[in-house]
């Protein structure tokens, strides 16, 4: 597969699961579009998992920037649809 083909093939919408440290403030959740939000606690640390379809790399970068701006460190990011 040529590098150009690889890039074109993986730039569309995909389902992502992003886990961040902390419990996302409910007032902040309206900025998360249609992502589902779940909260867990592991070894006394609060975690928030965001799951849903993200349109493209630009939208993903925008979401990650919002999380960074609100000081939610990303613990993991997984892409499901390729």
The pLDDT value given to residue 31: 73
List the chain domain ranges: 3-79
The pLDDT value given to residue 3: 54
The pLDDT value given to residue 42: 93
Distances (CA, A) of 22 to 5, 45, 74, 82: 38, 7, 10, 29
- CATH 3.30.56.10 applies to domain 3-79: no
Q: Most confidently modeled of 24-28, 45-49, 78-82?
A: 45-49
Band (8; pLDDT cuts 50, 70, 90):
low
Band (79; pLDDT cuts 50, 70, 90):
very high
Predicted model pTM = 0.81
Three-class secondary structure of residue 76 per DSSP: strand
């Amino acid at each position: 597969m040529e590098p150009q083909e690889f890039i074109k093939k993986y730039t569309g919408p995909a389902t992502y699961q992003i886990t961040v440290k902390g419990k996302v403030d409910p007032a902040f959740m309206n900025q998360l579009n249609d992502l589902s939000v779940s909260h867990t606690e592991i070894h006394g640390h609060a975690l928030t998992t965001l799951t849903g379809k993200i349109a493209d790399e630009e939208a993903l970068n925008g979401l990650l920037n919002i999380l960074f701006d609100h000081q939610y460190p990303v613990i993991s990011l997984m892409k499901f649809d390729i």
